[in-house]
A and B are shown apart, each in its own frame.
Chain A
Amino acid sequence: MTPVVMAAAETAAATGSTGEQVTFWICGTLAVVGALGLILSRKTVHSALFVALTMINLAVLFVTNGAPFLGLVQVIVYTGAVMMLFLFVLMLVGVDTSDSLVETLKGQRIAALLLILGFGLMLVLVLGSALNGITAVGVAGADEAAGGNVEGLARLMFTTYLLPLEVVASLLITAALGALVLAHRERWAPRQDQAQMLKQRMARYKETGEHPGPLPNPGVLATSNAIGTPALLPDGSPTDLSIPAPLRGSVHSRIAGRPDEIEADVAEVAQIASGQETTRPEALGPVTGHEDPATEQADEQADQHADDQDGGKA
């Protein structure tokens, strides 16, 4: 932010010029839009972006209010760090997650709207009537006395508010440690080297017959989303193991719009692979994603999960 802008802002703050009014109405409106977007958007990522919008606009308003330092901190710390942290967590949790906007608690939505409306109205009316006719002194004088906004804040922080500053500092340290502790995952079993893992794998193969080798590559079919399509084993039967676990079910449900085509593809490939002219033999079992037991189970689980969310009270 250049000194020019700062000077302009200072002037605006002192005078309450038309420029400030324009800024207020634009940024205020955008801030409210961001807040509404936060509430209304179905996807969490969108919500986060809307919050970032609100915060940036608020930063501008801070500046117009004679708090350029806070405005910068808002942009750097809040929008830059905190919101990005939110986004990181969102990535970890799954960008995909979208809230169902169906309200599960009976009456929660109506009651929340009414109460918040009442609360907001009360705040607006009370504050409006209380602050009506008050003219702002402006912080320009205070800034000037200290030799600038940052200097003024610094003077206050390291004199009058020294103790709170120390307390807050230790709070930050504690929070950082707390986050470390919370996010830390204890290793309960000793780390295994590759030889041990190989032995275990062979032991499992001996006991349960689990396939010791690597999982099959994803099947590649021209007509469908490759990664979500089951691969074919050498004997021609399709295997669900080739589909990454998170995609089982969900991707299928996405490509389920064209189940006939997939079924046809799979059947064709199977026939070619087995060198038979006839249609798919019974021994191959069900091939389609829909009829595959494992996939179906995954589907059910997904459904159940959705049910849980929808019917939270059940």
Chain B
Amino acid sequence: MDPSAYVILSAVLFSLGGLGVLLRRNAIVVFMSVELMLNAANLAFVSFARMHGNLDGQVIAFFVMIVAAAEVVVGLAIIMTIFRTRRSVSVDEPHLLRN
């Protein structure tokens, strides 16, 4: 099996995740798209580890997962707080970044 197939798959998933970030307005969906991109990156790491024949890539992927978990915790807390005050989770909420 050609290892580049995994890498290309990860590129495709990464792009789709990016598309989700760009197109969806719901902050939670955007967040999930970001998670998807991280996962795609992890897949690439793992594939590279396999190509090189050492475990460093897998360790990096592991770290990415931890950081992603931390990010999810904080990010969701932020979303909750925003929802509490604005009753909305739309990233297009007018004037969120203006004024």
Contact = CB atoms under 8 A, between A and B. Distances in A.
A61 B7 CA distance: 11
* Interface bin, chain A: 35 or more
Contacts of A21: 1
A61 B59 contact: no
A172 interface: yes
A137 B50 CA distance: 6
B76 A61 contact: no
Contact of A153 (B19, B28, B62, B68): B62
Contacts of A113: 19
A103 B24 CA distance: 9
B70 interface: yes
Nearest to B28: A44
A153 to B, nearest CB: 6
Contact of A39 (B6, B16, B76, B81): B16
Interface centre among B1, B2, B92 (most CB of A within 10 A): B1
Contact of A172 (B54, B69, B76): B69
Contacts of A117: 15
A77 interface: yes
Contacts of B72: 82, 85-86
A55 B22 CA distance: 21
A134 interface: yes
A74 B35 CA distance: 12
B28 A120 contact: no
A179 interface: yes
Interface residues of B, number: 72
Interface in B1-58: 1-9, 11-20, 22-26, 28-29, 31-33, 35-36, 39, 42-43, 46-47, 49-56, 58
Nearest to B5: A24
Interface majority SS (helix, strand, loop, mixed), chain B: helix
Interface of B: 1-9, 11-20, 22-26, 28-29, 31-33, 35-36, 39, 42-43, 46-47, 49-56, 58-59, 61-63, 65-74, 76-81, 83-84, 89-90, 92-94
29 contacts: A24-B5, A31-B13, A38-B33, A39-B16, A47-B24, A58-B43, A66-B46, A73-B62, A74-B39, A86-B32, A89-B79, A93-B28, A112-B23, A127-B8, A132-B4, A135-B3, A137-B51, A137-B52, A139-B49, A139-B55, A153-B58, A156-B56, A160-B56, A168-B67, A171-B70, A176-B70, A185-B84, A308-B94, A313-B94
Interface of A: 12-13, 16-17, 20-21, 24, 28, 31-32, 35-36, 38-39, 44, 47-48, 51, 54-55, 58, 61-62, 65-67, 69-70, 73-74, 77-78, 81-82, 85-86, 89-90, 92-93, 97, 99-100, 103-105, 108-109, 112-113, 115-117, 119-120, 123-124, 127-128, 131-132, 134-139, 141-143, 146, 149, 152-153, 156-157, 160-161, 164-165, 168, 171-172, 174-176, 178-179, 182-183, 185, 308-309, 312-314
